[in-house]
Amino acid sequence: MNNESMDRFLARWHAMIDAGDSRALPDLLAEEVEFRSPFAFTPYRGRVAVAGLLQTVIQVFRDFHYHRQFVAGDSAALEFSAAVGDFSLKGIDLIRLDETGRIIDFEVMIRPANALLALGEEMGRRLAA
C-alpha cells in the first residue's frame, strides 16, 4: 500500500460513481471486506454481500456528490451529500485499503438522524423486494 495505490483506487472509485455504473464495484472490494453501516454496529463481511448493499445504497441516493477528500496512509475519508426522499443528508465514506489496493474496511456515517432513518426505511424496502 503506497500513495500511488491510493491515487489509483480513488481515480477508479470516482470514475465508477461519476458513471453511475456499479458493475466495477466488486473488483474494488477485497474478498474479506468488512462494511460498517450507519445502522448496525456489527459489520457485514464478504465481497458479494457488501457489493449488494453498496449497489442498493447507490440506487437510493439522489443528487449524490462528493466534497472534501482526505487521505492518510492506507485510509481515505470522503465527504458527501445526497438526498433520500424529502431529506437532505451529509455523510462520510471511511475507507481502508489492503495491500492490493482494494477496500478491506468500509465505514459509512450519515447525518442528520431523520435522513438516516429515511434511508434505513428505503433500504429495508429495497432489500425485502
Name the site residues for a copy of itself (rule: CB under 8 A): 36-41, 68-72, 75-77, 79, 87-92, 94, 107-117, 120
Q: Which residues contact 100 (CB under 8 A, 6 or more apart)?
A: 30
* DSSP secondary structure letter of residue 10: H
What minimum distance in Å lies between the beta carbon of 123 and a copy of itself? Answer: 11
Output 26 or 44, the one with its CB closest to a copy of itself. 44
Of residues 68 and 128, the one with the C-beta less far from a copy of itself: 68
**What is d(CA 49, CA 129) in angstroms, rounded to the nearest whole number?**
16
**CB nearer a copy of itself, residue 58 or residue 92:** 92
| Helices 47-60 and 113-128: angle between axes, nearest 10 degrees | 120
Q: Give me the least distance between CB of 122 and a copy of itself, in Å please.
A: 14
Q: Are 60 and 84 in contact (CB under 8 A)?
A: yes
Which segments of the chain are extended strands (E)? Answer: 29-36, 44-45, 62-72, 75-84, 87-97, 103-111
| Residue 84 Cβ vs a copy of itself, minimum distance, rounded to whole Å | 12
Query: Nearest distance from residue 23's CB to a copy of itself, in Å?
Result: 27
Q: Which of 4, 86 has the CB closer to a copy of itself?
A: 86
